[in-house]
Amino acid sequence: MKQIAYHVFVVILLSALTFNIALARQTDEAVIKNLDNLEREAVLKGDTAALFNKFWSPNIVINTPANRVGTVETAKASLRAGKLNYASFERVIEKITFTENIAIVMGYEVIKPQGASDHAGKTVTRRYTNIWMTGKDGWQVVARQATIIKVE
C-alpha cells in the first residue's frame, strides 16, 4: 500500500512540475509577444529612445530587407535618413521558440513605406525573424532578419 501511495505521490509531483514548466513557458511567450509588438510600434512611431535604449541591443546585427548586413549604427543612419518611415506596420507571429535565455520569433510583416523609404507608397510583405536574448538589461533583440517576399 505504501508503494502505491508513493507512486501516486510521484505522479502528482511530476504532473505539477510539468504544469509549472508549461505555465512558465506560456508566461515567457506572452512577454515576448508583447515585447515584439511594442518594438513594432516603436519602429512605426520612429521612437528612437525606445528602440536604442530598450528594445535593440547595442550589439544588434541585422540582415536587412535591402540584402545588407547592418548594425545599430546603420539602423541609426537609416532612421536619420527617413528610410524606416512607415504609414502602417503589421506583424504576425507564427512561431516562438525558446532555448535557454534566447527567444526566436518568426513570422511575417506587412508595411506601407512612405517618404524616403524604399518602395514608398506600395505595400511590402516580408518574412522576419527577431532573436531576443535576456540578460542584465532584460529582453533585447540581438539579431534580426527581414526578407521582402512581395511588393504591390
| pLDDT at position 22 | 47
pLDDT tens for each residue of 119-141: 999 999 999 999 999 999 899 99
How far are the Cα atoms of 29, 45, 90, 150 from residue 93, in angstroms, in the given order? 11, 20, 10, 18
- Domain coverage including residue 52: 2-151
Residue 100 backbone class (left: φ over 0; alpha: ψ -120 to 50; beta: rest) = left
pLDDT for residue 19? 45
CATH number at residue 97: 3.10.450.50
The mean pLDDT of 106-116, rounded to a whole number, is 97
Digit-coded pLDDT (tens) for 1-58: 667 766 555 555 445 445 444 445 558 999 999 999 999 999 999 999 999 999 999 9
State the total domains in the chain.
Answer: 1
Which residues lie across from 108 on neighbouring strands? 92, 127
Residue 87 reports pLDDT greater than 90? yes
Q: How far apart are CA 28 and CA 5, in angstroms?
A: 34
Nearest to 63 by CA among 117, 127, 129, 144: 144
Contacts of 98 (CB under 8 A, 6+ apart): 25, 28, 29, 104
Res. 103: pLDDT tops 90: yes
